């Protein structure tokens, strides 16, 4: 399942298009119910695992492209908690910096739009 999610995230990065958790769930037929805490944790684990893998390979955090459906249209707290571990800053501080989330998204767009990067790394999972 993570492989399918990663492939979709790369496609979204190439199109410079973020998606909501619900869109990801519905389009990939993941069958998750986000009213259920276990399912919310599960999608967080999938996205976190993918981003940790990408980070360890020196690539941008693909999970930055998945945002909340609500008016804030920002990443979930789990994204910021993951970034806290990676970047060594408090997650609340990262979340308060609106440029932080946009920069992570732009990094994905730039990296995956590059055809050489795409060809070289699209199947690296």
Share of the chain above pLDDT 70, in %: 98
Q: How far apart are CA 52 and CA 74, in angstroms?
A: 19
Q: What band does 70 get if pLDDT is binned at 50, 70 and 90?
A: confident
- Tell me the per-residue pLDDT of 71-92, one tens digit each, with 9 for 90 and over: 667 788 899 999 999 999 999 9
Segment 55-78 shows an average pLDDT of: 88
pLDDT averaged over every residue in the chain: 94
pLDDT for position 11 = 98
């Amino acid at each position: 399942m993570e492989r399918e999610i990663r492939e979709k995230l790369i496609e979204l990065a190439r199109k410079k298009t973020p998606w909501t958790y619900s869109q990801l769930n519905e389009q990939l037929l993941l069958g998750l119910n986000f009213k259920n805490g276990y399912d919310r944790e599960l999608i967080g684990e999938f996205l976190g695992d993918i981003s940790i893998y990408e980070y360890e390979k020196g690539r941008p955090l693909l999970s930055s492209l998945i945002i909340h459906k609500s008016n804030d249209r920002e990443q979930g707290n789990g994204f910021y908690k993951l970034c806290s571990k990676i970047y060594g800053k408090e997650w609340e501080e990262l979340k308060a910096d609106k440029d932080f989330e946009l920069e992570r998204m732009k990094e994905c767009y730039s990296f995956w739009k590059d055809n050489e990067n795409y060809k070289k790394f699209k199947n690296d999972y």
